[in-house]
Amino acid sequence: MLDQNTVEIIKATIPAVQPRADEITACFYPLMFAQYPEVIPYFNQTHQAKGAQPKALANAVVAYAANIDSLGNLSDAVTRIVQKHCALGILPEQYAIVGSCLLQAIKQVLGDAASDEVIDAWGKAYQQLADILIEAEEAVYAASARQPGGWRGEREFRVVRKQAESAVISSFYLEPADGGAIPEFSPGQYITVLTEIAGEPVRRNYSLSDAPGTGYLRISVKKEPEGVVSSFLHDQINEGDSLSLRAPFGEFTLRENSKPLVLLTGGVGITPAMSMLNAAASSGREIHFIHAALNSQAHAFKADVDQLAQQHSNVQPFYIYNQPTDDCQPHARGLIDAQMISALLPQTSDIEFYLLGPKPFMQAALKIARSLGVPECQTHFEFFGPMEALEA
């Protein structure tokens, strides 16, 4: 618990820190990578280059300071950070590294305004947050390792099947090389692939794209133009090869209730929705599987979803193509809008609404959820990268 004087200093310095939070985190990362190169492999350098991760950290620091005496407001943010950290394998001892570099960055950017008293207060506040995260992360690591088939750290998996799902997406079916069990996971969770490419260790998150309980873990990867890991997986990894995985984590998970379920996805954002669909199809629950793709060549899992819809009348697919070719027969063409989506859905806002896709798609989808009156706690979204703002 922070003393009152520290809380007052944090509150008094927010007006100086908030407008310069981006500068502080932009200064923080190069400083940390220069002083502690051992943490570099944990960070996706594309997220650094595009600025998304520094922005996410800046937002987290400012939100923390603004809620310094009402930390309960941060529980969703803390849950997301904890799950992301556990997925990547962040360790308690690394918090001292981040703390030291963050304080150096604050001092460097604020200059004389960062007196010893101010730095001391931010140091204490940082430690409080670090303690919360370390404790929560240990609980999550332990629970994950404890369940049947669970593990901590890395585990070797063998690719038992590689399957093209569209012109750009391929699935990898993975079974433990040790022949052991795999854990139950929640549909919507993701694993982390660790590998070395051109001598550099890299790690990337991939959503599980099939239901739990199949005996394998399946990921479905879009080959990104010039993408380091996705190209490696598409071009170099084949049946019989091994991949090192961290266990499933993530909080974008299927709420198992009887409310109508709307899965609204664009492009490769379809992957966690496939896991949710496969898990929920036989529950009898009303499911609207709405997917936007460029055209039929880029449309993954169409045959699987159509087959499920034939077997389960509660599953209602709807496909929208933005750049259809002559042979395409989507239900609609163009971009999603509120009128199109609301015409498909039941006349109630009491639905579970999941959305995932490229950022402009997610902005449009979230607006639609808001216009339908879906409660915030029933509107769920994930980013295939650090959390970004979707609404002004």
Distance between CA atoms of 105 and 122, rounded to whole angstroms? 12
Set 29, 64, 126, 137: catalytic member: 137
205 near ligand FAD, judged by CB under 6 A: yes
188 near ligand HEM, judged by CB under 6 A: no
| Contact criterion met (CB below 8 Å) for 254 and 262 | no
170 near ligand FAD, judged by CB under 6 A: no
- The CB-of-383 to ligand HEM minimum distance in angstroms stands at 6
Is 137 catalytic? The answer is: yes
- The CB-of-59 to ligand HEM minimum distance in angstroms stands at 7
Q: Which of 130, 338, 372, 390 binds ligand HEM (CB under 6 A)?
A: 130
41 near ligand FAD, judged by CB under 6 A: no
- The CB-of-276 to ligand FAD minimum distance in angstroms stands at 13
Residue 151 or 383 with smaller CB distance to ligand FAD? 383
- The CB-of-271 to ligand HEM minimum distance in angstroms stands at 17
Tokens of 372: 């339908």
Alpha helices of the chain — where are they, by DSSP H? 4-17, 21-35, 45-50, 52-66, 75-88, 94-110, 116-146, 228-236, 270-280, 302-311, 338-344, 359-371
Pseudo-torsion of CA 101, 105, 108, 114, nearest 10°? -100
47 near ligand HEM, judged by CB under 6 A: yes
Is 135 catalytic? The answer is: no
| Contact criterion met (CB below 8 Å) for 188 and 134 | no
Tokens of 84: 């992301």
Determine the residue type at 326.
Answer: D
Smallest Cα–Cα separation from 81: which of 95, 69, 100? 95
What are the phi and psi torsion angles at 155 (to 5°)? -145, 140
| Contact criterion met (CB below 8 Å) for 287 and 261 | yes
- The CB-of-47 to ligand HEM minimum distance in angstroms stands at 4
Distance between CA atoms of 58 and 64, rounded to whole angstroms? 10
Q: Which of 59, 170, 230, 379 binds ligand FAD (CB under 6 A)?
A: 230
Contact mark string toward ligand FAD, 251..290, x via CB under 6 A: -----------------x--x-------------------
Q: Which of 44, 189, 230, 253 binds ligand HEM (CB under 6 A)?
A: 44
50 binds, among ligand HEM, ligand FAD, none (CB under 5 to 8 A by kind): ligand FAD
168 near ligand HEM, judged by CB under 6 A: no
Residue 126 or 361 with smaller CB distance to ligand FAD? 361
Q: How many residues at the interface with ligand HEM, by CB under 6 A?
A: 23
190 binds, among ligand HEM, ligand FAD, none (CB under 5 to 8 A by kind): ligand FAD
Positive or negative: CA dihedral 103, 106, 111, 112:
negative
Contact mark string toward ligand FAD, 369..388, x via CB under 6 A: -------------x-xx---
Q: Which of 16, 33, 42, 322 binds ligand HEM (CB under 6 A)?
A: 42
Is 40 in a helix, a strand, or coil?
Answer: helix
Set 95, 173, 206, 354: catalytic member: 95
How big is the chain, counted in residues? 392
Window of 63-71, 109-117, 225-233, 280-288 that interacts with ligand FAD by CB under 6 A: 225-233
226 near ligand FAD, judged by CB under 6 A: yes
248: CB partners within 8 A, 6+ apart: 144, 183, 185, 186, 189, 190, 191, 208, 217
Return the ∠ at Cα 73 (arms to 68 and 79), rounded to 5°.
Answer: 105
85 near ligand HEM, judged by CB under 6 A: yes
Bin 89: left if φ > 0, else alpha if -120 < ψ < 50, else beta.
left
Smallest Cα–Cα separation from 330: which of 340, 341, 338, 322? 322
User: Catalytic residue numbers?
Assistant: 95, 137
Which residues contribute to the site for ligand HEM (CB under 6 A)? 39, 42-44, 47, 53, 56-57, 60, 80-81, 84-85, 88, 90, 94-95, 98, 129-130, 133, 386-387
Which residues contribute to the site for ligand FAD (CB under 6 A)? 46, 49-50, 190, 204-207, 220-222, 224-231, 268, 271, 382, 384-385
